Structure 1
């Protein structure tokens, strides 16, 4: 059960700090800047991987969980419980942001800045890169260690800088779910479910092919 609790806590931290800094930027007339927002996202991901990577794998993202399952690294029986825990953590994170900023017009949610297809394709591309890196630096179903934390945190920073102005650079259905539910704004939410899941599933076979000479890793069954 500790892995489920870790996913709730990890996703709570991710959403509270990640979307929280977006709200801070909005309320301070962009003093944080896009670079600052990207750094916060990258650093909080690094911190989460360092803290709970050896407990739950620090997925904190349904697209990560689904892709690890599709890659044969994660047991199917744990996919749904992990995703439920991630959604719970995301909602709690958004509730915290609402408590901290009761007058905020937005809770740092994601919405397309241009066309729907542009944002959808951006989410597919961004998540493809993220999961390609995750699959190549993680051990089995777990993202742990300094290398994984730096690599994945660095990719998150890069992708927020690149995709933030386009789609909000979610790459994570749970990250978008929390602000949408608590804030009541479901604008084009399908993009932030379909895009990340598709991007991750596209990364899975490529990562498997590139590592086909390595010994297959058994799915983690820790609880």
Structure 2
């Protein structure tokens, strides 16, 4: 029995020595840690704004808000799913700020992400101008947000931008940052939230929820009427969502009180 066991042990050790050890995992280099994520934010935001602007410029009147709602929501879902492992798929300054405040990214990457998103927004709007006819582009003012005409509309529009951005940012934080509620379905969840927000609030504020989406068309069409609303509202909404997660909804690691 002792000889047989020794023989088995020798055979086992021979088999084990014949297996190849997996190569050590190489840590990400500077390009993969810093440059590539920023480029992904540029490209992702660019294509989101491009597709979103075209859906508004070429919108069929009979489709109403349905066409832009579906296009924006599906574009978000696709780009988030594709770019998630590269940059985290923010594509929106309020998302980046809120994700940082909830511990989802390092401070030194915040400003590069914000610059990348705004640059992507301008490039995407430029692409939409190149693709569409001059007549349609002019009629839609380049898909800039032209729904606000008087100060009487401002209160409802600002509140709508705050509340709807808070909702979609909360979905991002709970679905992608908060460990207790993380979900592989977050691209679908964020896309659906964008769709329902546009369907619900499109006639009130235009449902921007994203300063990068607002800046690009404004630059290309030179349309700045009440443009500040689409910065103040979404950024405030993103900060509120971060506060909700940090103070109330987050898990023990994320929450800063009542641990």
Q: Secondary structure at the match of 1:132?
A: helix
Which residue of 1 is the match for residue 185 of structure 2? Answer: 147
Aligned counterparts of 2:102 and 2:216: Cα–Cα separation in 1: 27
Q: Kindly report which structure 2 residues correspond to 1:89-168, keeping only aligned pairs within 5 A, or say none.
A: 89-103=120-134, 104-105=137-138, 106-113=141-148, 115-139=153-177, 146-168=184-206
**TM-score (normalised: structure 2):** 0.77
* Post-superposition offset of 1:72: 2.5
Distance 1:48 1:6, change over 3 A: same
CA contact (8 A) 2:245 2:254 kept: no
Q: Distance in 2 between matches of 1:202 and 1:172?
A: 15
Please name the residue that 2:81 is paired with: 50
Instruction: Measure how far apart 1:146 and its partner are.
Output: 4.4
Tell whether the 8 Å contact from 2:125 to 2:217 is kept in structure 1 after alignment.
yes
- How many equivalent pairs are there? 212
Which stretch shows the higher mean deviation, 193-202 or 103-112? 103-112
Of Structure 1 and Structure 2, the greater helix share is in: 2
Unaligned residue ranges in structure 2 (runs of 5+): 1-34
Contact kept? 1:24, 1:32, Cα under 8 Å: no
Confirm or deny: 8 A CA contact 2:53 2:128 kept in the other structure: yes
Structure with the bigger RCO (C-alpha within 8 Å, sep 6+) is 1
Paired with 1:202 and 1:82, the residues of 2 have a C-alpha distance of: 20
Larger radius of gyration: 2
> Counterparts in 2 of 1:1-223, with a 5 A limit?
1-25=35-59, 28=60, 30-103=61-134, 104-105=137-138, 106-113=141-148, 115-139=153-177, 146-216=184-254
